[in-house]
Structure 1
Amino acid sequence: MTRAIRVPLKRYLTRFFKKDLLAGLTVGVISLPLAMAFAIASGANPENGIYTTIIAACLVALFGGSRYQVAGPTGAFIPILLSIVLTYGFDNLLIAGFLSGIILVIMGLLDMGSLIKFIPRSVTIGFTAGIAVNIFAGQISNFFGLTGLERHESFLLNMQEIMTHFDTINLYSTLTAFICLAVILTTPRFLPKVPGSLVGLILSTIIATLFFPNDVITIASAFGGIPSGLPHMQFPDITLDKIQLLLQPALTIAILGAIESLLSAVVADGLTGTHHNSNRELLGQGLANMVIPLFGGIPATGAIARTATNIKSGAATRYSVVISAVFVLLTMLALAPYAGLIPLASMAPVLMVVSYNMSQHQAFISIAKVKSLSTGVLLITFFLTVFANLTVAVEIGLLLTMMLFVKRMSEIMVVTQVVPDHENHLIDIADQNALHTYDCSQISIFSIEGPLFFGAAQMFSESIMSTIHYDPKIIILRMSRVPIMDITGENHLRMIVENIQKKGITVLMSGLNEQPEKKMKKTGLYAQVGQDHFFPHTNHAIAYALEHINKTHCSTCQKLNGNECVLDKK
């Protein structure tokens, strides 16, 4: 047993540890400044972001469904977390984060991982771009060192605060911010493997500390520095009233976290050729978000940029992410006093660049250029995210998307009258004048194509009833192209069958698929039509119909006498 444990460990140390160490250190260097910046922008203290990075990275790496996923605080969470802090307070943010973890676990247990993938691109791009605008706007005050501002949930009120207090601009803070921004933008040209955000923070902090240390607001002066010890575990004070109060914010955090983490996992799959487990990923994210609040951390999710960096840095296993978390922990313990010297003006360009990169402006413009219904969903989701809040934006965006989906699916539903030709094929007759040349006065055949659900049921009824211009003896409904039927579609089909049967017309059905058949059997419609009136193929239904029509009428039919009756050829 001992040898079985040691052999894999030895193989890992010789083959994979070096790659994971390099990737972990790279991700750790990037994660540390972002953790503090995201926490501050979310209305929390910088150490809360660091705790989140450490715990989330370890738990999601070990229990999540993606081998390379790097979890932690992200820019996408900033507006919603800040809104919760401003509305309910930081302590309640911890409770909302804990509840979101429970929701994520439930989503994973209910196999909802695959459903998140069906959220349309117009919605995700819309709210992501809106979040980017809010993040960028939220850093303007720190960039210029403005003072006396009151933070609001409303984008317009925050812009008004900035305009009102712009006369409090601090030139030292502005200079610090421009130095950091310039370094961030130029570092990739000269040092492509070095994180520009880290270099910008260090260089601008050194300049500010040496030349104007008392003229800019720093992490230490704003938050009292960063603790150099480990956080104490404390369970949030959860009550039934607080659960009811915070359930909607928690649900928003969970949905956004699920979307972000699974999108990140998909990106990782594309870069590595692997396949993640969506439900396990939700379970890992849920577990992490349940543990993080116990140590004062803010909600976390998969970070696309850090995950991509982990892969591009040569990560071989999921332990590279654990190494990055250990690096952040050790760095916090060793360098916490020095981190307090970082000016808030240096943090602002870091988040501004993050917001620009996450905005997906090219994708936004490409969708907007199409000028379709998806463009409307994109713009509505975007503007609601900016001017209302993320919860409303996602809810309205998904509602609009569902309505558009129903509309498009209803347009797929087609009901046409068909007749057989002399080669035993069914052909559509779109011209009603031509129909009189081919049809039979006793047998009518209708081909139904598309899902028979609530969005198309009314159109289906109207199409059938408006197409029947006479009372045949037998109507054949060709159902082979109806893949699914919901209870509303079944109800409309039932009304059609009942109306036809009241006129003494026999209803036959052919090619019924498995799901509609089960639905009709459960509701009793199958028995109402009659078990012997269902046929695997339309030709079988036609043969049955020919045996049950009025032969006397056929003998006087001019089409039969003129050899034009295609039914007689069957």
Structure 2
Amino acid sequence: MLRLSHFNRNTIKGDVFGALTSTIVALPFALAFGVTSGAGAIAGIYCAVLTGFFASLFGGTNPQISGPNTGLTVAMAAILSSFIAQAPDQGIAAAFTVVTLAGLFQMLFGVLKLGKYFVLVSYPVISGFTSGIGVLIILSQMEPLFGVSAQQMLAQFSSGEMSAEQLLNSNVLLGGGCLLLLFFWPERLNRIVPASIVALMMATAYFVFSGASVPVVGAIASELPSFNLPVYNAELFSEMIKSALLIATLSTLDSLMTSLTVDSISNDLHDSDQELIGQGVGNMIAGLFGALPGGGATMRTVTNLRAGGTTPLSGILHAFFILAIVLWAGEYTAYIPVAVLSAILLKVGIGIIDWNFLKRIHQIPLFSVGLMLSTLVMSVAIDLVTAVLIGVFLANLVTIRRLSEIQLDNLKLCSGQEDEQLPQDEKQLLQAMSSRVLLLHISGPISFGVARSLKQSVAQVDQDKTLLIDLSDARFVGISSTIAIEEIIVSHLNQGRDVILASVCERVRKDFDKLKLLEKIPKQHIFSSRKQALTYLSEQQA
């Protein structure tokens, strides 16, 4: 759905300035993410162009700037290397087919209106996940800087084979100098000229005038990318689906988290499901043209907002500005040292580690600490999707346990001897039958797990008592609660004991009818009020 209604003459000036400013910030990152992914700088550039354009045109967050980002780059690098190793002839094509599939999955998420559920992931899981990505980015930059991978560096350090030349060559010193500049560039100047642009210009000037022998990005062809049809590989198919779901999930989380940030700054409300459709369209087309997957980029989006961008036009212009730079100045990337891009990504990697959580680790509950650290370790040691799935599973287990404890407040089990909040006449009737009637008062929904525990409690109270289930304060139970109540009723009936139902309102009756629960209880044992049920039981005793 095109959102042309958001474009108006009053906001054009702000959108142009926002687009220009975010382009200056985005360009070094697009180059850096492209090089790091293994697909080349051009893949990062066209990710910024294609996802930036289509996500703005079809998305649900007005000033959102989309493009390559940290988590997606780490995932795409792993996918590319794995697929190329398994299928040298089709590996690259299969990897970009994954990007297209990921876009289709994201569009499906939006159509099914799943957007609101992605932002419900537990904070420790998000913290561990993003911190793990930060560690992976840092490790991935060891080879561009030092010429050996992180594993090789560790082996050489432990064996004492690491030479001074490896640690102090011109490439390392250039990268280290750029990293220091990125960290110590004054914030007041950063608002005028971003530190990443200054580092890029200084490193390029150093290469041009010093004649130093350092690796460079290489020239980017000043032409539009070629269209490539998706490929099917039977051996990689299951891994392609898994990888596409990972890319779709990462892009969704990045985009929706950025959308929430926009909401907090602009006092506006985004459309999560429309945003997923827009991002999905962008990623689907990016995959068809050999570009990296993208998502909402928080820093670039905030830059756009602060510079005046308020409508989707700013994201569209951002894409065109980057495209213009590539088509007219792509040859000059041949002078950009790889070391400066490594420094930019090292800064990103260090920055996205959740230092605030780690600094307060001694103040945080043990389970939350364990969940965060285990997600971090699994992200680095295994893979990102496994880390998130296990983290979410563990977090949900604890959430369910806590909800079960809360739901116990909705249940009261008494035999008449307790001091129950009942009218005096009903209390007297129940006390007179305390030896043979057990009252179960349900005031709200209960989970299946709570019902299991409750069933055991009912069985332990007395084997010969009639069970009176009072629903006078329950106006809604739902199917899960209905199944739980059915468990209790069937268990009681199977032991040869009577079950009485009282105060079943029309809405609750509809839930019960869906599972034909009322058919399991004789009609004479279903009453419209608790008092009628108690009176009936009292008369039966007499």
Q: TM-score over 0.5 for the alignment?
A: yes
The offset of 1:464, in angstroms, is 1.9
Are the equivalent residues in 2 in contact too, given 1:452–1:485 (CA < 8 A)? no
Q: Aligned-pair distance for 1:488?
A: 5.2
SS in structure 1 at match of 2:221: coil
Aligned match of 2:26 = 31
Aligned partner (choices 325, 334, 344) of residue 328 of structure 2: 334
Instruction: Name the aligned partner's letter for residue 12 of structure 1.
Output: N
Match of 1:563 in 2: none
- 2:38 maps to 1:43: yes
Q: Distance in 1 between matches of 2:341 and 2:175?
A: 8
> Retained in 1: the 8 A contact 2:107–2:280?
yes
CA distance in 1, matches of 2:154, 2:240: 27
1:400 aligns with 2:372: no
Partner of 1:260: 254
Matched-pair contact (CA < 8 Å) for 2:261–2:298:
yes
Partner of 1:288: 282
Give how far 1:196 is off.
Answer: 0.7
Query: Which residue of the partner structure matches residue 350 of structure 2?
Result: 356
Matched with 1:373 is: 367
For residue 385 of structure 2, the aligned residue among 391, 405, 410 is 391
Aligned mates of 2:236, 2:242 — CA distance in 1: 11
Give, in angstroms, the shift of residue 408 of structure 1. 2.0
SS in 2 for 1:53: helix
Structure with the greater alpha carbon radius of gyration: 1
Does residue 1:17 correspond to 2:12, yes or no? Answer: yes
Structure 2 SS opposite 1:118: coil
Contact residue 94 and residue 233 of structure 2 kept, 8 A: no
Match of 1:557 in 2: none
Higher mean C-alpha deviation, range 69-78 or range 522-531: 522-531
SS in 2 for 1:455: helix
* Counterpart residue number, 2:122: 120
- Offset of residue 294 of structure 1: 1.6
1:562: which partner in 2?
Answer: none
CA contact (8 A) 1:42 1:81 kept: yes
Equivalent residues of 1:234, 1:295 under 8 A apart = yes
> Which stretch has the larger CA shift, 364-373 or 195-204?
364-373
Q: Aligned in 2, Cα 1:202/1:530: closer, same or farther, shift over 3 Å?
A: farther
By how many angstroms is 1:251 displaced?
Answer: 0.8
- State the alpha-carbon separation in 1 of the partners of residues 315 and 224 from structure 2: 20
More deviation, 450-459/275-284:
450-459
- Partners of 1:368 and 1:362 in 2: CA distance: 12
Between stretches 241-250 and 374-383, larger displacement belongs to 241-250
Distance 1:180 1:353, change over 3 A: same
What secondary structure, in the 3-state scheme, does the structure 2 residue paired with 1:417 have? Answer: strand
- Is 1:523 the equivalent of 2:515? yes
CA change 1:207–1:422 in 2 (3 A) is closer
1:498 maps to which of 493, 502, 519 = 493
Q: Which amino acid aligns with 1:507?
A: I
- Maintained 8 Å contact 1:443/1:545: no
Measure the CA separation in 2 of the matches of 1:282 and 1:158: 40
Answer yes or no: is the 8 Å Cα contact 1:52–1:297 preserved in 2.
Answer: yes
Aligned in 2, Cα 1:368/1:104: closer, same or farther, shift over 3 Å? farther
1:511–1:319 Cα change, 3 Å: same
Per the alignment, residue 417 of structure 1 pairs with 413
Q: Distance in 2 between matches of 1:529 and 1:367?
A: 54
Once residues 259 and 299 of structure 1 are traced to their aligned partners in structure 2, the CA distance between those partners, rounded to angstroms, is 13
**Residues 190 and 423 (structure 1 numbering): CA distance in 2 closer, same or farther, change over 3 Å?**
closer
| Distance in 1, Cα, partners of 2:77 & 2:45 | 17
In the other structure, the counterpart of 2:469 is 476
Amino acid at match of 1:465: A
C-alpha distance 86-449 of structure 1, shift in aligned 2 (>3 A): farther
Q: Which amino acid letter does the alignment assign opposite residue 77 of structure 1?
A: L
**For residue 565 of structure 1, what is the aligned residue in structure 2?**
none
Match of 1:559 in 2: none
CA distance in 1, matches of 2:531, 2:435: 14
Structure 2 CA distance for aligned equivalents of residues 91 and 385 of structure 1: 26
Letter in 2 for 1:122: P
Could you say what secondary structure the match of 1:266 adopts?
A: helix
Q: 1:105 to 1:547 in 2, by over 3 A?
A: same
After TM superposition, give the deviation of residue 350 of structure 1 in Å: 0.5
1:74-121 CA deviation, whole Å, 9 max, x = no partner? 011122111111100332210111111111111111111111122111
- 1:512-551 matches, within 5 Å, as 514=507, 517-530=509-522, 533-534=525-526, 540-550=529-539
1:509 equivalent to 2:508? Answer no
Worse-superposed segment, 75-84 or 437-446: 437-446
Q: Equivalent residue for 1:196? A: 195
- Deviation readout 1:391-424 (Å, 9 max, x if unpaired): 2101111221222222222323424324597984
Give, in whole Å, the separation in 2 of the partners of 1:342 and 1:357: 23
For 1:546, give the aligned amino acid.
Answer: T
**Cross-structure match for 2:242:** 248
Change (3 A) 1:479 1:303: farther
Alpha-carbon separation, structure 2, partners of 1:367 and 1:91? 44
Q: Quote the offset at 1:68 in angstroms.
A: 1.3
Find the aligned partners of 1:361 and 1:479 in 2 and give their Cα distance: 51
Give me the TM-score of the superposition, normalised by structure 1.
0.83
1:119-158 → structure 2 map (5 Å cutoff):
119-142=121-144, 145-147=145-147, 149=148
Q: Is the 8 A contact 2:64 2:259 kept in 1?
A: yes
The aligned counterpart of 2:228 is 234
- Native 8 Å contact 2:407 2:445 kept in 1: yes
Structure-2 residue corresponding to 1:88: 83
Deviation at 1:259, TM superposition (A): 1.2
**2:309 is matched with which residue: 315, 329, 341?**
315
Q: Could you tell me how far apart the structure 2 residues matched to 1:140 and 1:512 are?
A: 67
Unaligned runs of 5+ in 1: 1-6, 430-435, 554-570
Partner residue of 2:88? none
Identity %: 25
Structure 2, unaligned stretches of length 5 or more?
A: 85-91
Query: 1:104–1:282: 8 Å Cα contact kept in structure 2?
Result: yes
Q: Deviations over 1:59-79 (max 9, x none)?
A: 000100111111110011122
How many residue pairs are counted as aligned between the two chains?
520
**Residue of structure 2 equivalent to 1:111:** 113
Q: Which has the higher contact order (CA 8 A, sep 6+)?
A: 2
Q: Is the 8 A contact 2:527 2:533 kept in 1?
A: no
- Cα deviations by residue, 1:258-316 (Å, 9 ceiling, x for unpaired): 11111111111111111111111111111111100121101111111111111111112
Does the 8 A contact of 1:105 with 1:286 survive in 2? yes
Distance in 1 of aligned mates of 2:31 and 2:80: 16
Provide the alpha-carbon RMSD of the alignment: 3.1
Residue identity matched to 1:319:
L
Residues 351, 542 of structure 1: alpha-carbon distance in 2 compared, 3 angstrom cutoff: same
Deviation of 1:208 after TM superposition, in Å, equals 2.7
- Report the Cα distance in structure 1 between the residues aligned to 2:421 and 2:48, rounded to whole angstroms: 70
> Structure 1 residue 470: deviation in Å?
4.8
Question: For the Cα contact (< 8 Å) 1:443–1:476, is it kept in 2?
Answer: no
In the TM superposition, residue 390 of structure 1 has moved relative to its aligned partner by 0.5
SS in 2 for 1:508: strand
8 Å CA contact retained: 1:447, 1:478: yes
Per the alignment, in what secondary structure is the counterpart of residue 119 of structure 1?
coil
Alpha-carbon deviation of 1:141?
3.0
Per-residue displacement from partner, 1:157-190 (whole Å, max 9, x unpaired)?
7754787884334521122112212322233345
Match of 2:172 in 1: 174
Question: 2:96–2:287: 8 Å Cα contact kept in structure 1?
Answer: yes
Once the two structures are overlaid, the 10-residue window that deviates more, 253-262 or 462-471, is 462-471
Alpha-carbon separation, structure 1, partners of 2:420 and 2:449: 37
Distance 1:287 1:240 in 2: 25
